[in-house]
Amino acid sequence: MFKSASFFRIADDFVLPPLDALEEALQATRFLPCGATQPESSGWVAPRGNKSTALVETINRQLIVRLCTERRPVPASAIKAAIEERVEKYKQETGRERVGAKIKKEFKEEVLLDLMPRAFTKQSSTTLWLDPVNKFIVVDSGSLTGADKVVSFLVEALSSIPGAAGLKAQPVQTSQSAAASMAHWLSSREAPVGFTVDRDCELKTPDDEKSTVRYSRHTLEIDEVAKHIEAGKVPTQLAMTWNDRVSFVLSDAGQIKKLKLLDVVLDGIGDKDKDDDGFDTDAAILTGELSAMIPDILEALGGELNSDVALTRQAQELAAA
């Protein structure tokens, strides 16, 4: 169900509105495919798939929704060629050697309107899990930008419900950066409590060259890895396992990728324990495992910053950028 995870913290005073009101709000922005000249369209789809019409699913007090985005990309090379063709024709018709920026902009708009209906569409869906008990949002995305888009859509939907409290959510920030923590674990050859370091890792130099070293299915308990870190390379990805139950890759931005439940979790689940489509069982298992794992990850990264400190750090990072 989830292959990646980006974490957001919800304000403690958030109260989930009635589910029928939330369902109605999501139905108002249900997914519709792109129009002929529309570059992108986003909306909510049924988490359970095409066999269901419900846009909100709740399992063990956990809420699951899914946002679908369809894009109609036009190749940049095709746009450029069509614009150049119009420019040359314009020069021949007017006798002018130079074409102004305003006219080129008009040509680009015409080209897009002409080419877009012929472009193939691409769809992608992102699942969001809202935990109203522990005040977390987890988005199935390894990109903070992509995850933030889905959260923003949910915030907008909730704000449209009369009398509902607004959803305040911000990315989780920890006392120690994931990159610094991974560097410490690799250098000391000591994983945090409850975790093991696996056999995949990526290190990069934090400069313009971005020199990269990758280890795949290779022991990381070697002097060579520590020497790379001493030389200034920073871990950007590290494969880990939590309590022999969940494996994943931790990124330097604190996102989780390649999330996988291990056999010890799944072996006890037989076909008789599953519902018709397996959705409820899969959701219950996944949210149960991640609910226990997330606090351990945050603890391994030095603990979660409170909202005031996180906002101050965020402002400092923006000012330094």
What pLDDT digit, counting tens, does each position of 282-297 carry?
999 999 999 999 999 9
Q: What are the structure tokens assigned to 77, written together? A: 């090379």
- Give residue 312's pLDDT band: very low, low, confident or very high (50, 70, 90): low
Is 209 a residue whose pLDDT tops 90? Answer: no
The string of DSSP letters for 194-259 reads: TEEEEEEEEEE-SSSS--EEEESS----SHHHHHHHHTT-EEEEEEEEETTTEEEEEETTS-EEEE
Instruction: pLDDT band for 275, please (50, 70, 90 cuts).
Output: low
Whether 314 shows a pLDDT value over 70: the answer reads no
- Residues 89-141: tens digit of each pLDDT: 999 999 888 899 999 999 999 999 999 888 999 999 999 999 999 999 999 99
Choose among 216, 51, 40: nearest CA to 119: 40
Please return the burial class of 286, using the count of CB atoms within 10 Å of its CB with bins 0-12, 13-18 and 19+: buried
pLDDT at residue 318 is higher than 50:
no
Q: What is the mean pLDDT of residues 252-257?
A: 95
Residue 313: predicted pLDDT: 54
